[in-house]
Chain A
Amino acid sequence: MDDKPILELKNVRKVFGQIVALDSVSFTLKRGEIHGLLGGNGAGKTTLMNILYGLYRKDKGEILLRDQVANIQGPRDAIKQGIGMVHQHFLQISNFTVLENIILGTDVKNKYTMKMDEEVVKVKELCQRFGLNVDLNDTMSTLTVGARQKVEILKALYRGVDILILDEPTTNLTPQEVDALFVSLRVMVDEGLSIVFITHKLREVLSVCDRITVLREGKNITTLDHNDASEEVFVRAMVGEKMDIENSIYFATEVRNGFDRTTAEAPVLELEGVNVVSPDGVPQLRDINLEVYGGEILGIAGVAGNGQRGLAEVVIGVIPVTSGKKKFLGEDVTSKTNESLLRSGFSYIPEDRISDGFLPKATVAQNLILGQHRIKPYSDGRFINWKTVFSETTRNIEEYNIKTNGPDDIGGNLSGGNIQRVMIARAFSMDSCLLVAHNPTRGLDIPSMDFVYQKMLARRENNQATLLLSEDLDELIRISDRIAVVYRGQILGVLDRGEFDKYAIGRLMSGITSENQPAEEKAIS
């Protein structure tokens, strides 16, 4: 590493509507370093890098690239200037092949026949050099998350970039895959690349980055060499002065006892030998046996796409059980509809809030009563009591800190984090025996995450049951009483709180149990 900056962002400002996403942010990237960009959700990390990559237009500020002012109007300019970006949500065409995805947007030699022998050679050479193995003829949709990430990185390398931006690259990777990624990143830096590593996970940054810049609420707080500062300094920088770190669950270090099942009564929810086959004949869940007790938080870990969504939807009654039994407080509810389950005390925070939980064209009030619109106090079964709905909504907006113009604001005007708060308010504002929460803290800043954790722990005190499905392993370890690991629709193991170990869970997440051999790397869907 030499100390010359390859890239400088100076006083960048960006406003979305009335929200200031970035307020005079500066950032310097040195040649040959891995630079961590750390911050909670909504801190502006991705926005900043999207500006650098030309996806967003900056309102103010300056970009200096190799000491010259760079004018980046769009991704095309960014790529031309040697900047590549791997987005958190992979930007790929799922029905194109790997090769087509990699060469898309570049000039191939045989433009009018698309014979791509030369390009294949070049890509294969890159695969080898950086240890990124993928089959170029595979269709994208058949690949695992890990493999798709490799394609994203190859796409950037193929374009010969020397600055690579990685946005939350470890989401959905097992701890083992994360380690492998870090090794690859080191190889790239040794070959002369400079890397920006965007993340909200402090430990990751500390383990791989040379320098770290912390953003909070659209402002840059500090940039430090990772050897120069302790963890506390970064924590404080990330959350600001207002948050009470001492009592925070997010940063809690002391060990909490697990749930004591010996004193519990019958489980709230039982799944016995549940199998689910999707309509097109693909098995989604295989022989699931689980129970959740009142006063317990059961965590479900797994790489995304291994059946978590199916599990949540089976419990809540959105998709039917193919075989097996589902019991609620001892009563068989296998064939009950989601309508009657929601009525009898289930609540649900869906994984995909936009598609499964939110009514963008309806008002905030209409959103808050979804699923509860047939029961008191919101309705007498025939007519909706809009007066009560409005007063309750106003109260919830306050309690859950939803930033909106009021109960009759249109849902589509809300930001992602606030939509998530609506989901949370809807699920927690009614007393429910069983909460199924799928990635409930996605898109929330740290204080809001902490608020959700408090709410979940309060459920524990009230003897209510919680099924927490999360892609964030740290979150599960933080808050669950037990963790069950799903892999390709099966439960590979259940660990008690005393036995939580990141790498042990990681092995299960990639399908390795003590009995079997490492499984091959293909997704089920």
Chain B
Amino acid sequence: MALLEVDDLRTHFFTREGTVRAVDGVSFAVEKGKTLGIVGESGCGKSVTALSIMGLIPKPPAKIVSGSVMYEGSDLTKLSERELEDVRGREIAMIFQDPMTSLNPTLTVGTQITETIRRHYDVSQKQANKKAAELLEKVRIPRAAERLLDYPHRFSGGMRQRVMIAIALSCDPKLLIADEPTTALDVTVQASVLDLLDDLRHEYDMSMIIITHDMGVVAEAADDIIVMYAGQVVERASTLDLFDNPEHPYTEALLGALPQIEGANVRDGRLTAIPGRPPDLIDPPAACRFGPRCRYAGSDDCTKHEPQLREIRSGHWVRSAHPASERAGSRKPQEVGS
């Protein structure tokens, strides 16, 4: 059963220049105990999707204009600010990209962890401190008890992200949303943070949404993936099926544009760049939003009708008139084994 179900979510920003359709018809589900990866490039709406789930979008200018976010039977978009506060942190926690700015520099790390604990649980400061020390140990910060008294500037980037994870875990959330959790980190630090998240997810029996621009990160961390482009989900599948048989021309192009460290034609082949750039979300193309950059575009289906997200085979959804397996002369999708 799904823990979280997002249906046709639309979050628009009403600005002087016009209405920015940042999230424009996003649907997905997060299963219990699973990790969903959301990938896409800057401005595709992946972070706004996460903030909309958490009720953290700035209103105004932003507004959820339609759709629902069902979490354990209640629609989060309909909750009052007060009710949302009980969900945030306690049920759904979030960690952000930049561990340098998401901690308060004027408070000790201990204070920042215990304030979340005491907001949601009726415990004494002493009990909260004890729990905070345990949490820092869980995220593998050495000399945990002493370090509670330190200010954030005494921690490196990777260590700060661990502190953020400790705060996120402090109230045993059922869902953890990680928005580009390792983007600001060096590659070796990124690897250890991803390993940590993976361990904790099992230990705490959490579901996770991991938002990233990095195809490598979702390949390693996610069970299921949605690919976003210009505010919409363009493809949704299990991780293995998505990488084995990408259907949407954008997903295919994105994988072709990616430099790799191993495998054939690493050096000799040119990268298959995607021409142009993503559309302006104030005035996106009327029909297919990827159309102007798509090598298969051209038919009326591309320019006249807006493609809908449809299930092309069991569990694999795509929003395109020309998915790979339907194009002339295309090979049959590979069998997905495990």
Q: Do these two chains really belong together in a complex?
A: no
B contact set with A: CB distance below 8 Å = none
Q: Could you tell me which A residues sit within 8 Å of B by CB distance?
A: none
